[in-house]
Amino acid sequence: MTFPRNVQSVSPLKLLTHRCNLQVLLLLLSLSCATAGCAHPRPRSSRAPIPPPINPPTNPALTPVIPSSFVEQGVASWYGVPYHGRRAANGEIYDMYKLTAAHRTLPFESVVRVTNLQNGRKIEVRITDRGPFVDDRVIDLSLAAARDLDMVAAGVVPVRLDLVAAVSPLASRFALQVGAFQNHENAVQLRDRLAKRFPPVSIREYDSPNGMLYRVFAGRVPGEAAARQLAEQLRREEGLSSFIIRLDD
């Protein structure tokens, strides 16, 4: 048999080279397909995503109160240094960058909504301290709360307080702060003067920015209404102005 003239024989070496090139080409195509998404996708998990945890209340003993059950209006101030880092009346370290406040009669851990009556801003704070011991002021706010109310520069602003939540029950014992002295002997004289008619009368130390103060407390009555009556009696009979203070001990 004769073959056409244009047919040429192929050497085994060339066949081997072509086969190797074909394998390399297939490998490259496979890699390209995988990176381009040709490979089968991984099956998705059938589990639903886990929702973020709900933050628990800071104090489970707190209970919501009836709206308008406690409303107070007056002047708010704020305090920072040198009280920052000192121990507050409830025992924790005061941090002026947290939303806390001092109040004379509300229980510790109470949550109060404070409204700046000049600009309408509102903030909720936790009661951790006692005060302010200045006429007409109803609450002493942390620096963080004062910033949120935009009252840092002013120092004092008119506010409205609404009790949001409190430790139950609200009832407690109350006393009257009838004086605060830098001289311990003056505190002793007032204590002795009032001891027979308005017992019990005690002296409590208070580390103020201006030095140690000796505060005189009179009475121990079961409720704010009784405390107000006692305050009126002291004003009428002794000419003394006073602050109602919740007794935490």
174-246: which CATH topology?
Alpha-Beta Plaits (3.30.70)
CB 162 within 8 A of CB 113: yes
Sorted by where each begins, the domain ranges of the chain are 62-167, 174-246
pLDDT value of position 16: 44
Q: Closest Cα partner for 124 from 136, 133, 135, 115?
A: 115
Reported CATH class of domain 62-167? mainly beta
pLDDT tens sequence for the chain (249 residues): 444 444 444 454 444 445 545 554 555 555 444 444 443 333 333 333 433 433 333 554 666 665 667 899 999 999 999 999 999 999 999 999 999 999 999 999 999 999 999 999 999 999 999 999 888 899 999 999 999 999 999 999 999 999 999 876 566 899 999 999 999 999 999 999 999 999 999 999 988 877 899 999 999 999 889 999 999 999 999 999 999 999 987
Q: Closest Cα partner for 144 from 81, 112, 76, 97?
A: 97
Q: Closest Cα partner for 218 from 185, 196, 249?
A: 196
On the question of a common fold for 62-167 and 174-246, the answer reads: no
Question: What is the helix, strand, coil percentage profile of the chain, to 5?
Answer: 20, 30, 45
What is the value of pTM for the model shown? 0.70
